[in-house]
């Protein structure tokens, strides 16, 4: 007789997976394909998830690095992370039809940065170097205008031209706790620093981190579904560890799980980054329940009701 499967409590974080900005960006590509046929070109990954990108490729989307790879007679979509101002300017010069899928909450940060620039402030951007969102935000203003700060040490070392005329904005997908520490240093050093009217870290990032905090302390192991390129997904792993999880890993999907991680595990937490589709979570839960006597418990998290409208050109067609 084979031994009974190991018992396992599975805590499912809520909310998890797609946010409104990701959902809108994907819908823009899908709707463009419906209206204009294939191919529709997309500059960079529409969101940071291989499964999403592969599905859109199968529908007729072509992903490129730069506009010069796009024919001028086909639609091109800009990714949810936002783009420097030079990109739509180039598209206009080439008379291209483009659709901007930038998340409205990222666009809010762009508007804030431009307002501070107009008002003559020295601007600090809290974020991760090389991330597409950071490149896009810094690219809203002349080169050298925005100073990037990644860590508390960077905040301590920052020396503005005028300590009384500084402002900060942030990437939308950062760790809430890490960013709070950096902002704390900036406010201590520059009491008059101008800050966002409403926090730049988006509601979805905040809610997903809070949900992982709620389950993390009770878990021997936490698995977060998401891409290694995804900032918000990486932050969820860090949040789980800080919350008290014994181990936490980022996985693309169920096929990337190392089942040796489950040795001695009695409690498992599952979450997903904001660009991970729900079917990947369903597949992971099935893979776990196929192997273990698992009780799945969904935590009572925030109910998200945010939606963003599609560009008018797509809804009026």
3-state secondary structure of 149: strand
Are 52 and 31 spatial neighbours (Cβ–Cβ below 8 Å)? no
Residue 133: active-site member: yes
- Cα–Cα distances (Å) from 294 to 56, 75, 239, 266, 282, in that order, read 34, 47, 24, 10, 14
What are the φ and ψ backbone dihedral angles of 206, each rounded to 5 degrees?
-60, -45
**Strands lying side by side in the sheet with 122-126:** 146-149, 122-126, 166-170
Per 3-state DSSP, the chain is made up of helix, strand and coil in percentages (nearest 5) of 40, 20, 40
Please identify which of the residues 45, 112, 122, 133 carries the catalytic annotation.
133
Q: b/e for 240-274, b at 16 or more Cβ within 10 A?
A: bebbebeebebbbbbeebeeebbeebebbbbbbbb
Question: Cβ atoms within 10 A of the Cβ of 75, count?
Answer: 21
Q: How far apart are CA 83 and CA 101, in angstroms?
A: 10
Tokens of 78: 């800009």
- Catalytic sites, residue numbers: 133
């Amino acid at each position: 007789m084979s031994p009974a499967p190991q018992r396992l409590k599975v805590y499912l974080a809520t909310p998890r997976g797609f946010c409104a900005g990701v959902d809108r960006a994907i819908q823009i590509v899908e709707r463009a394909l419906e209206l204009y046929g294939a191919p529709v070109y997309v500059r960079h990954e529409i969101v940071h998830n291989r499964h999403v990108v592969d599905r859109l490729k199968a529908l007729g989307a072509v992903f490129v690095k730069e506009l010069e790879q796009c024919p001028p007679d086909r639609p091109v979509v800009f990714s949810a992370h936002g783009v420097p101002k030079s990109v739509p300017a180039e598209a206009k010069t080439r008379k291209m039809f483009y659709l901007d899928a930038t998340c409205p909450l990222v666009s809010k940060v762009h508007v804030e940065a431009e307002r501070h620039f107009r008002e003559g402030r020295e601007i600090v951007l809290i974020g991760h170097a090389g991330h597409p969102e950071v490149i896009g935000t810094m690219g809203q203003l002349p080169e050298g205008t925005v100073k990037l700060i990644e860590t508390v040490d960077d905040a301590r070392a920052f020396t503005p031209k005028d300590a009384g005329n500084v402002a900060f904005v942030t990437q939308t997908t950062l760790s809430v706790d890490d960013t709070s520490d950096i902002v704390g240093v900036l406010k201590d050093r520059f009491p008059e620093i101008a800050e966002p009217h409403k926090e730049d870290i988006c509601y979805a990032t905040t809610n997903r981190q809070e949900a992982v905090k709620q389950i993390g302390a009770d878990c021997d192991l936490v698995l977060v579904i998401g891409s290694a390129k995804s900032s918000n997904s990486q932050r969820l792993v860090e949040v789980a560890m800080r919350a008290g999880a014994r181990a936490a890993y980022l996985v693309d999907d169920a096929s990337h799980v190392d089942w040796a991680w489950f040795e001695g595990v009695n409690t498992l937490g599952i979450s997903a980054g904001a660009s991970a589709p729900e079917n990947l979570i369903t597949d992971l839960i099935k893979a776990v329940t196929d192997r273990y006597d698992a009780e799945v418990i969904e935590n009572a998290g925030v109910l998200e009701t945010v939606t963003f409208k599609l560009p008018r050109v797509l809804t009026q067609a």
